[in-house]
Structure 1
């Protein structure tokens, strides 16, 4: 499987109502790991919530990233 340029994540309520769609894009995290990340604000019943999604590739951390060397 080729690595995708982005991932689409749908956030749904328990009744199936679509609350939001997030486009999750590639990211290199401060730890040196690679993966995908997105965040967005979503309104439900007049209240605002912050949503985050993170996918981290297991074993992707570059050597020395955690120690800063």
Structure 2
């Protein structure tokens, strides 16, 4: 399994809506609204690294109100 932390910036006023939509994604194991430079952090898990790049990030970026994402692969 491949894990990644996806850090999400949202446009003003839609953080709750984006958070609810991110939580519904099958690959999301845990998510939280946070303070600091990002609005939402999602821990995701997929079978292969390409799934993170090819589909999951595109799913998140297509949510209305997502301004920017930063993906960090978990190394354990």
Structure with higher RCO (Cα < 8 A, 6+ apart): 2
Scaled by the length of structure 2, the TM-score of the pair is 0.28
Structure in which a larger fraction of residues adopt strand: 1
- Larger Cα-atom Rg: 1
Structure in which a larger fraction of residues adopt helix: 2
